[in-house]
Structure 1
Amino acid sequence: MKLSYKLFFLLILCSVQVISQTLPPSKKDKWKGFERTFTTINKHSAYTVKPAKALPGNPWVWRSSFPDWHTEMDSLLLVRGFYIAFVDAADAYGSPDDLQIWDQFYSYATDSLKLSSKPALEAVSRGALYAIGWAKRNPDKVSCIYAETPVYDFKSWPGAKGKSKGDADSWKQLKEAYHFTEEQAIAFNDNPIDHLEGLAAFKIPVLNVIGINDQLAPREENLDIFVHRYTYLGGPALVYPITDGPQEMNGHHIPINDAAKYADFIVSNSYPVKKVLPYSDYFKIRNGLNNFYRTITETKKATVAFLGGSITYNPGWRQKVTAYLKERFPETEFHFIAAGIPSLGSLPHTFRFQQDVLDSAKIDLLFVEAAVNDRANSTDSLTQVRALEGIVRQAKKSNPLIDILLMEFADPDKNRDYAQRLVPVEIANHERIAAHYNLSSINLAREVYDKINNKEFSWEDDFKDLHPSYYGQELYFATIKSFLNSCFNQWAGAPYKTNSSASLPKEIDKYNFSSGRYDAITNAKHDANWKIDQNWTPSDSAGTRAGFVNVPVLSTNHPGAALSLRFTGDAIGIAVISGPDAGVISYSIDGEKQKQMDLFTPWSNSLHLPWYLLLGSGLKKGNHVLNISIDQTRNVNSKGNACRIVYFLKN
C-alpha cells in the first residue's frame, strides 16, 4: 500500500509524540533487541540505544529525523558497537530554537553518557536541515554525515519556490518555527547550501544517497547545488544514486538494498575514535559572565564590544559569536561594537578605548585581544601590563558590572615558545591581569599548540597563518562558544549574585594607563614646517588602514621641523601613520637628553600603518613639556623624513 507524503510523515510524527507522552524520563525498553533509554531534553523527548558491547571511545550515530525509517543501517551499527541516538525537535526544520535543543542533547550525550565527541549524523529528507544546520555551527563535533534524499534548501521543499511542489502546511509550520514572514523566508541565506566554508575546512565527509528522479527534493535545487559548493570549497562529498527498485512518493522514497555499504562509510569515518583535547582545558571562568547573563535574560538589552587587532577585525570568530548570541537569546536586543583595527595591540587599545568604545555605549561584555600584536610590535612586558591594566580599570570605572574576557590567540612565535617549554610573555601578562581582577580568559595559543601535538590538525595544512583559515576561525569559535555555554549554563536558573563591585582591587602597577586618552593634534605648538591636513590621504599607492585615512593629520617631511606639547600626566606618546617615507624623530621630555625613534616599520614599504609609540611613561605626576623635531637621518629603507601624527597619547 502506498502512503501519501503527508500521511507517511504524520504517522512518523505521531509515533514520536506518543513515545514522548507515554514514556517518562529514564524509561527503558527494547529497540531491535537492544536497550533503549529515554530522557527529556528541555521538554523534548530523546533516547539512546545501547549496543551489546560498545566499541572503545563510544562512537555513535545521531539521527536527525524519522527515527523508524530505513533502520537497517542502524541495526548493523548497533551490532558493530555503535550507539544510536535521537532527539525529537518537533518539526522545527533546523531553526535556531531547534539547534539550541541539539546543543543541549550533544552536551548530555558527551558529558553524561560519555559518548564520543564526534558523532556521525544521519539525515533523512528534511533531516538534512537539522543535521547540516548543526554541523555548520559545530564542524569540530562531527565525524561524517549520511544524507538520504536530503532537503538542502527549504525554499525548494516545503517552500515550492522552484520545481518542487512543496507542501503548504509544512511551509507554514517552517515559517512559524523560524518566526519568518514569507519575504524573510525567501531571503534567508543560511540553508544547508549556504556558508559551507567551515564544514569544508574540517573535511567532513558527506554521503548522499538519492533517488535519481526525486521530484519532492529535486537534485538541481538541492543536492547539485550543495555538492558543487561543498566540493568547490574542498569538502568531500559522495553521491550514490539509486536507480533500481521501487521509488515511491514522487521518487522521494527509495529502497535501501545495501545498508552494509553505508554502515561501512560511517564506521570508516568514525572509528577508531580519535582522542580530542577538551576545550574546557583552555579557558578559566573565574568570575564568569553572570552580570552579562542577568542583563541579557532580565533587561533583554545588551552591548557587546570587541577590542582587538586584525584577528578581531577580520571576518571569522567575531561574527560567529554575534550570531550565536542572537540565536541563543532571540528575545534580547543586542548592540555590537566592532572595534578591531589591524596591527594594534594593548598599547594602542588602552589609549583609543575611550573614544572607540566607551564613548559609544555602556558596555556589558568586552572581548579583548592583544597578545599577537604585542609580540609582533615588540611591546615590552612592562608596557603590556600597564596597558592591559589600563583597559580593565577604564572599563570597570565606566561600568562596574561589566564582564571582560581576555583572549590569547596563536602565532608561530608562541608555538616556538611552548615547544621550548616557555610561557610566552604576552600570555603570562594577560593571565596576570585576568587573575588579579578575577576576569575570564581563554588561552587559544596553548590550545592550538597542544592540538597540533595531539595530531588533531597541522599548522601548515589546516591553521595556515596567525590570521587563521576557516578551520582556525571555527576552532577559535568552538572554544569561545564552549566558554560561553559553560558560563551561561552555570548561572541559568541560579539565584543572581553580583560578582563585581564599584571598588577595584589595588593596582598592579601604579603607572598603569587607566586614564589613557587621545590628545588632539591641535594642542601642539609647531613651526611653519608642520601643517594639519584635515583629510589626509596618501599620494602613493601604498595601502591604508580604516580609521587612519581621510582623517586630520599633523604632518611634515622637513628635517629640523619642530613642535612642542604641554601635557599633564605620567605618560605621553604619539600615534603616527608610518608609510614608505617615514622618518626619524628626536624627542625630549622636560628638557632632558634627546632620544631618537625610527618611525619606519617592517611593514612600511607597502602600507601606511597606524603605529603607536610611547615616548615616556612612569613620569612624575604633574605638568610636562614634550619636544619633537625631525632628524636629518632616516632608515635605509625609507624614502623620506615624514612624520604624520594622528593623535597624541596621554595618561
Structure 2
Amino acid sequence: MKKKGLFIFLFTVLSTLSIGYGQSSVDGVVKTTWKGFDRIDFKFEGKEARLIRPEKPIPGNPWLWRARFPDYHAEIDSVLLTKGFHIAYINTNKQFGSPKAVKVWNGFYEYLTTTFGLQGKVALNGHSRGGLFIYNWAKQNAEKVACIYGDAVVCDFKSWPGGGGASKGSKKDWEVLKTEYGFDSDAEAKAYKNNPIDNLNQLANAGVPILHTVSLKDGVVPPDENSLLLVQNYIHVGGTATVSPCSSGIQKSNGHHYDIDNPEMVVDFIMRHSTENSLLDASKYHRMGSGLQNSRIQFERNKKGRVAFLGGSITHNGGWRDSIYAYLKNKFPKTEFEFIAAGIPSMGTTPAAFRLERDVLSKGRIDLLFEEAAVNDTSNKRTATEQIRGMEGIVRHLRKSNPTMDIVMMHFVDPDKMKSYRAGKVPEVIKNHNRVAEHYDIPTINLAQEVTERIDHGEFTWEDDFENLHPSPFGQGVYARSMLQFLDKALTGYIDNDDKIKAHALPNPLDAFAYGNGVLMDVSEIKLRKGWKIDPDWNPNDGKRVRPNYVNVPMLISETPGSLLQPTFEGNAVGIAVAAGQDAGIIAYRIDGGEWQKLNLFTPWSMSYHLPWYYTLASGLVGKKHRLELKIDNGKDVQSNGHACRIRYVYVNKP
C-alpha cells in the first residue's frame, strides 16, 4: 500500500483576501475561534469552507474532513483538535455527493494538502447524507484515505432520499438529487450502480478501514439498507469494517439522531489509522545556522518586509514559493510585505552572482532571501571552483548590501543527487554550497536528501507523485512542507525587548576570487567594430522558444567570421551572457594579449531554444584593467546552421 503524502509539516494559513492556487480561487478569509481553537472561514471556488487548527499539530498534520452537518457530534472534533488534528469542511450540501461535488472535493483536497500542508491521507467523517460525499470521493481517491467514519450515513440514495425501502425518504431532496446527477427519471436514478454500497474494491485493495455507528431504530436512514449492507459488501471484497450500534443515550428524529455510546472508540479509530505510519522528520534535513532572528524582529517590530527568491526554474515556477508568501502573511498579519521573484530558468550561481544587482538589489533593501542553485550548477556543468565562487559571491554581495540580511540556502533534488545519496555520498555541488553556508553560518534546507529518503521510506514515489525535477503540485507540496516547518521553528520563540537587529559576521572569503562584486555591462557601453551591430529590439522570429529579457531587447550581434570586439573592463572575472540558438557559432577570445582560446556557443538545447547562457571567459585575473578580444571563428558546431554570437550582456566581477 503506497504511503503517499506522509510528511512532517507545521501549519500555515492564508491571510490575504484573494489567493489563487492552480485553477482554484480562494477569497473572503475570516479568522475566528471554534471552542477555543483557531478557525479560518473562506470561500473555495465560491463555496463556503473552513479549517480549524489545533494549538499544537501532530507531526505529519493529520486531519479529519467533515461532510455535511459539520457541527453535529462535535465532541469528536474537539477531542481530535486537542490531540493535534486539523478539521476541514466545505459546503457542497445540495449536491448529494454527485460527480460535480466530487470534482470540488478533488480541488479542495489538493488545495489543503499543497497550500496548507495537511497530511496526504485524510480521515473522512460523514453524517447522514454526508455518506454520499465521503464514499463517492473515497472510491475515486482510495490512496488518499486514511480511514472512514460514518455516523448514521446514507449509503444508497434509493433508500434515502429515494424512499425505495423502509425509509419514507424525502420527495423534495429526491428531486434535487436527480437534477444534480442529471437523471431524467426515477427509473434512471434507481438503476444507478455507483452508490456507496457499490464498487468497493478500490477501497478494500487500498486497505482503508471503516467504522460506522448506527441506531438500530433509525427509521430515516435504516441500517439494513445502508450501513449494514455496505459493511457486508465491503467484507465480501476483502475490506475491514466495524459497525457499532448506539442505544444507551437519547435518540431523536425517529432514531436518526442519537448519542454515540463510545466516542473515545471513534477518536481512537481515527487517530490510530491516521498516525500509525512511521514518519520522517523534516527537521533532520535543516541546518538552522545563525537563524532568522533579524527577519523576525524586522517583520514584528517594523511592520515591513522585503523577501526575495533567487534561483532557477524551480524558483521561477512558484508553488512552494506561493506557500511561503501565504505563511509569512499569516505569521505577521500586520506587516506590509514585498516579495521579489527573481528565479530564471536554467540559471545557477554564476548567473545569479552577476545579475544580483539588476534582479534583486535594485528593488531596495532585502530583509530575507531564499537561494537555490544545486540543480542548475550541476546541469550547467559548473566546476567546483565556479560553484564556490558563484555561491560565495552571492552571499558576500548580499551581506555587503545589507549586513543584517538573513539568507536561507536550499538544495533541490534531481535523479543524479538521489543516486549519490543512495551510494552513501554527498553530491559534490551540495558539498560545495554547504562549505559556503557553513563558512557564513547560513541556514540550509536539504530537500535533495529529504526527498530521496522519503521515497526510500515508502512515503511516495518519484515517477507517480513527485514526477520530475520540476515538481508536480504534489512535489511542490513536499518542498513547501519542509520549508514551512523550518520557518515555523526559525520564526518562533521569545524576543526580548533588548533584542536588536544585528549585523552578520563577514569573514575572509573562502576564495579570494569569489564573484562578490558581479555586475552586468549593458552592450551599449561597448565600442562597435566592423561586423558587429546592436539590434535594439532583437527577436529571432523563427518559431524557436525564447526567454524573458532575451527577446525584444538590445542585443550585440555578429554572424560574420573574423568580426572582432575589443572591450576593456576593470575586474578579476569577465564573461558573456548570450542567446544561444540553432545558429550559434564558435568564438575565439583572449585576455590582455594572451593565447587565443575557442568556445562553442552551441548548447544541447540550442535546436529548440535561443537559450540564455552565461559563459565565463576568464576569472582569477590579477590587476584592475584588462582587455578582452573576441572574434567569430570560421568553424561551427556540426549541428549549428550558422556562426552567430548574440550578446545580451558582458558580465564583470569588479575589483
Same fold (TM over 0.5): yes
**Residue 405 (structure 1) aligned to one of 400, 408, 421:** 408
Write out per-residue CA displacement over residues 535-592 of structure 1, whole angstroms, 9 at most, x where no aligned residue.
1111211111112111111012111111111001100001001111111110000010
In structure 1, the partner of 2:639 is: 637
* Offset, 1:325: 1.1
Paired position in structure 2 for 1:442: 445
| TM-score, length of structure 1 as denominator length | 0.69
Structure 2 Cα separation of the partners of residues 502 and 271 of structure 1 = 43
Are 2:110 and 1:197 equivalent residues in the alignment?
Answer: yes
Question: What one-letter code is carried by the residue in structure 2 that aligns with 1:536?
Answer: W
1:619 aligns with 2:621: yes
SS of match in other structure, 1:576: strand
- Does the C-alpha gap of structure 1 residues 526 and 261 become closer, same or farther in structure 2, counting only changes over 3 Å? farther
Q: 2:556 aligns with which of 534, 548, 554?
A: 554
Which of residues 102, 121, 131 is equivalent to 2:64?
121
Task: Say yes or no: does 1:241 pair with 2:192.
Answer: no
Secondary structure at 2:360's aligned position in 1? helix
Note closer, same or farther for the CA distance 1:234–1:569 as it changes in structure 2 (3 Å cut): same
357-366 or 254-263, which deviates more: 254-263
1:468 and 2:381 correspond:
no
CA 1:560/1:101 → structure 2, altered by over 3 Å: closer, same or farther?
same
Q: C-alpha separation between the residues in 1 aligned to 2:141 and 2:65?
A: 23
Aligned to 1:102: 53
- State the alpha-carbon separation in 1 of the partners of residues 504 and 453 from structure 2: 38
Question: Does structure 2 retain, via aligned residues, the 8 Å contact 1:120–1:266?
Answer: no
The SS at the match of 1:501 is coil
Partner Cα distance (2:624, 2:308) in 1: 33
What amino acid is the match of 2:594?
A: E
| Residue in structure 2 matched with residue 187 of structure 1 by the alignment | none
Q: Deviations over 1:202-258 (max 9, x none)?
A: 76356463544x9xx9x9xxx59x97899599967999635456999x98x986955
351, 365, 368: which one pairs with 2:371? 368
Output one character per residue of 1:122-171: Cα deviation in whole Å (capped at 9) or x when no partner. 53646499x9xx9xxxxxx98xx998xx5436xx8xxxxx999xxxxxxx
1:516-527 to 2 correspondences below 5 Å: 516-527=518-529
Amino acid at match of 1:511: F
The total of aligned residue pairs comes to 502
**Matches of 1:246 and 1:206, distance apart in 2:** 31
Q: What pairs up with 1:468-547 in 2 under 5 angstroms?
A: 468-489=471-492, 491-495=493-497, 497-498=499-500, 500-501=502-503, 504-547=506-549
Alignment of 1:152 onto 2:91: yes
Q: Structure 1 residues 163 and 477 mapped into 2: Cα distance closer, same or farther (>3 Å)?
A: closer
Which residue does 2:315 correspond to in 1? 312
- Does residue 344 in structure 1 map to residue 257 in structure 2? no
Q: Which amino acid aligns with 2:461?
A: S
- Check 1:125–1:260 CA distance in 2 against 1; reply closer, same or farther (3 A cut): same
**C-alpha distance 443-329 of structure 1, shift in aligned 2 (>3 A):** same
Deviates more, 1:632-641 or 1:584-593: 632-641
1:389 to 382, 388, 392: 392
Q: In structure 1, the residue corresponding to 2:479 is in which secondary structure? A: helix
Cα distance in 2, alignment partners of residues 229 and 553 from structure 1: 56
The correspondence for 2:242, drawn from 260, 271, 277, is 260
Mapped to 2, the partners of 1:120 and 1:614 lie a distance apart of: 51
| CA distance, structure 2, for counterparts of residue 577 and residue 561 of structure 1 | 18
- Change beyond 3 A, Cα 1:122–1:567: closer
State the partner residue of 1:19. none
Deviation at 1:459, TM superposition (A): 1.2
Cα deviation 1:271-303 (Å, max 9, x = unaligned)? 782211100000111111010001111111100
Conserved? CA contact 2:154–2:221, under 8 Å: no
| 1:194 shift after superposition | 4.7
* 2:362 match: 359
Q: Does the CA contact (< 8 Å) of 2:64 and 2:122 recur in 1?
A: no
Spell out the pairing of 1:58-97 with structure 2 (5 A cutoff). 88-89=35-36, 92-94=39-41
Q: 1:256 to 1:351 in 2, by over 3 A?
A: farther
Secondary structure in 1 aligned to 2:646?
Answer: strand
What are the Cα deviations for residues 394-429 of structure 1, in whole angstroms up to 9, with x where unaligned? 111111111000000000111111122221111112
State the identity as a percent: 37
* Structure 2 residue matching 1:546: 3-state secondary structure: coil
Which runs of 5 or more residues in structure 1 are unaligned? Answer: 1-56, 58-85, 111-116, 135-140, 157-161, 165-190
Given that 1:308 and 1:368 are in contact with CA atoms closer than 8 Å, whether structure 2 keeps it comes out as: yes
Q: Assess, with a 3 A threshold, how the Cα gap between structure 1 residues 303 and 268 changes in structure 2: closer, same or farther.
A: closer
Question: Structure 2 vs 1, CA of residues 90 and 434 (structure 1 numbering), >3 Å: closer, same or farther?
Answer: closer
Q: TM-score of the superposition, structure 2-length normalised? A: 0.69
1:260 alignment partner AA: T
Relative distance call for 1:548 and 1:234 in structure 2 (3 A) is farther
Instruction: Give, in angstroms, the shift of residue 383 of structure 1.
Output: 0.9
Q: Distance in 2 between matches of 1:452 and 1:460?
A: 10
The DSSP-based 3-state class of the residue aligned with 2:39 is coil
Aligned to 1:4: none
Alpha-carbon distance between aligned partners in 2 of 1:247 and 1:303, rounded to the nearest angstrom: 59
Query: 1:210–1:546: structure 2 CA closer, same or farther, 3 Å change rule?
Result: farther
Cross-structure match for 2:566: 564
> Greater relative contact order (Cα 8 A, min sep 6): structure 1 or 2?
2
Kindly provide the amino acid, as one letter, of the partner of residue 374 in structure 1: D
For residues 415-454 of structure 1, the aligned pairs below 5 Å read 415-454=418-457
Shift of 1:89: 4.6
Aligned partner of 2:383 in structure 1 is: 380
The whole-number CA distance in structure 2 between the counterparts of 1:460 and 1:193 is 21
State the partner residue of 1:209. Answer: 126
**CA shift at 1:91, angstroms?**
8.1
Whether the aligned pair in 2 keeps the contact of 1:126 and 1:151 (CA below 8 Å) is no
Output the CA distance in 2 between the equivalents of 1:247 and 1:291. 63
SS of structure 2 residue aligned to 1:627: strand
Distance 1:520 1:233 in 2: 57
How far apart are residue 524 of structure 1 and its match? 2.0
Question: Matched residues in 2 for 1:514 and 1:126: separation?
Answer: 60
Counterpart-to-counterpart distance in 1, 2:482 and 2:71: 25
Match of residue 30 from structure 2: none
SS of the equivalent of 2:555 reads strand
The alpha-carbon distance between structure 1 residues 371 and 163, as it changes in their structure 2 partners (threshold 3 A), is closer
Could you tell me which residue of structure 2 aligns to residue 6 of structure 1? none
Classify the secondary structure of the residue corresponding to 2:569: strand
Which structure 2 residue ranges, 5 or more long, are not aligned? 1-5, 7-32, 44-48, 78-83, 97-103, 161-166, 174-217, 228-240, 245-265
- Residue of structure 2 equivalent to 1:43: none
Number of the residue aligned with 1:80: none
How big is the shift at 1:500?
4.1
Match of 1:300 in 2: 303
C-alpha distance in 2, partners of 1:500/1:152?
A: 49
Q: Is the 8 A contact 2:65 2:125 kept in 1?
A: no
Residues 170-194 of structure 1: per-residue CA shift (max 9 Å, x gap): xxxxxxxxxxxxxxxxxxxxx9775
CA distance in 2, matches of 1:597, 1:464: 35
Q: Structure 1 residues 431 and 88 mapped into 2: Cα distance closer, same or farther (>3 Å)?
A: farther
Cα distance change on mapping 1:372 and 1:104 into 2, 3 Å: farther
Deviation at 1:266, TM superposition (A): 5.8
Aligned Cα root-mean-square deviation (Å): 4.0
